[in-house]
Amino acid sequence: MSERRLGIIMNGVTGRMGRNQHLVRSILAIRDQGGVPLSDGSRVMPDPMLVGRNEERVAAVARETGVARWTTDLDAALANHDDTVYFDAATTQARADLVTQAIHAGKHVYCEKPSATSLEDALRIWRLAKEAGIKHGVVQDKLWLPGIRKLKGLLDRGFFGRVLSVRGEFGYWVFEGDREPAQRPSWNYRQEDGGGIILDMLCHWRYVLDHVFGAVRSVSCLGATHIPKRWDEQGQPYAATSDDAAYATFELDGGIIAHINASWCVRVRRDDLLTLQVDGTNGSAVAGLRRCWTQPDVHTPKPVWNPDVPPTVDYWKHWDEVPDLPESDNAFKAQWEHFIRHVVEDAPFEWDLLEGAKGVQLAELGLKSWAERRWLDVDDLENAACRP
């Protein structure tokens, strides 16, 4: 069986997501399994080049993971014709410029979301990529989570009948950093550094809603900075200038109403850090990251409102768990494999920089809705009128 090499420049692997999900659990896991199988029976082996601004940190990641190639010189890495893919998980504020640099160097590009901090920049890099004729993609990992895939399977089989609504709860308590170290980096809470849960999570909600339930047509969003003071990685106090919670309602195609709460200031009493409840005329389902439960119409209890007596119905027992899927790989790794096949053998890949721009569009509208305290329509970015 033949094997070909694919050189991948990986920028931002000293961060938590870049190191854990993209390098260790995706690229190195793909290497451990013998590469990505192609349609002709051959395999492609990713060969990462790690890039970081801090020599000590990037060298440590390379040493700990056993990756032989690393550098602090991005220009030199982009000049190497043997590495044809650029991946970006560096800072959100720098992403559009870094992706632009990679496109000008002729690299195929794959990046974390948000793809930019403004819709203008997100559309600019999409158009640049189209003009350059390179392959491009944006990480939309939640589409490959087992729980979301189980929900999509139920929808495809018509389990719900007519879908009425989607209710989402996401988040957990992120410690302020004084008594207990914070689980998220401090820049997440500084607007001037590209932080904020609306910019972060509405990009996720856009692709989940669009690809699973129906296209988003309008949004109403209320943000909040519930905790105005936090402590950074050095134990120093700082002002939290970005939103740490978002309460958003969306209108989707088909009259579906979706509401998703996202917060880094909530203590979890639910099945998972993310849960989605879908209610339809014929049944309902609740999905977490990996598990999913259903309640068809014929098993729905008939409660009667009476607050004066203890509940007489066990509302948990009327749900049946959806069996596990035959294949349940890491969500980031699954999309990486799709992108690698797209680059090497032109396999279909629909999660491109335009999809990334749609996420930025919704986040931008969410922030505007909060500022103006009103509903906003979501324009179709694929409409010719939106193009230059």
Residue-level pLDDT at 327: 78
- Examine the domain organization and report whether 120 and 166 are in the same domain: no
Same domain, 190 and 65: no
Q: Are residues 178 and 278 in the same domain?
A: yes
Instruction: Tell me which of 321, 344, 366 is where a domain ends.
Output: 321
DSSP state of 368: H
Same structural domain, 236 and 124? no
Question: What pLDDT sits at residue 1?
Answer: 60
- Read off the pTM: 0.94
Instruction: Show which of 301, 321, 341 is a domain's final residue.
Output: 321
One domain for residues 137 and 158: no
pLDDT given at position 78: 98
- Alpha helix ranges (H) inside the chain: 16-17, 29-32, 55-65, 74-79, 92-104, 119-132, 146-156, 197-208, 331-345, 353-372
Assigned domain for 375 exists: no
Q: Are residues 185 and 115 in the same domain?
A: no
Nearest to 355 by CA among 182, 162, 115, 178: 115
Q: Are residues 110 and 168 in the same domain?
A: no
**Over the stretch 292-315, which tens digit does the pLDDT of each residue have?**
999 999 999 998 899 999 988 999
Predicted local distance difference test score (pLDDT) of residue 388: 44
Q: Where are the beta strands (DSSP E) in 204-272?
A: 216-224, 229-231, 237-239, 245-252, 257-263
Question: Could you tell me if 47 and 122 lie in one domain?
Answer: yes
Domain-embedded: residue 360: no
Residue 374 resides in a domain:
no
Closest CA to 112 of 134, 95, 127, 93: 95
Q: Are residues 263 and 313 in the same domain?
A: yes
Residue 35 lies in a domain: yes
Which CATH number covers residue 15? 3.40.50.720
As for how many domains the chain has, the answer is 2
In a domain, 369, yes or no: no
Residue 241 lies in a domain: yes
Instruction: Let me know whether 21 and 163 are in one domain.
Output: no
Question: To 10 degrees, the CA torsion angle through 5, 108, 202, 280?
Answer: -70
Per the domain annotation, does 387 fall within a domain?
no
Contacts of 18 (CB under 8 A, 6+ apart): 10, 12, 89, 90, 112
Residue 336 lies in a domain: no
The domain in which residue 254 lies consists of 147-321
Q: What is the DSSP string of 4-73?
A: EEEEEEEE-TTSHHIIIIIIIIIIIHHHHTTSEE-TTS-EEEEEEEEE-S-HHHHHHHHHHHT---EES-
For the chain, list residues with pLDDT below 50: 384-388
Final residue in a domain of this structure, among 142, 177, 204:
142
CA distance 169 to 272: 9
* Location of structure tokens 């000590």: 56
CA 359 from centroid of its chain's CA atoms = 10
What CATH number is attached to the domain comprising 225?
3.30.360.10
Same domain membership, residue 172 and residue 135:
no
Verify that 105 and 214 share a domain, yes or no: no
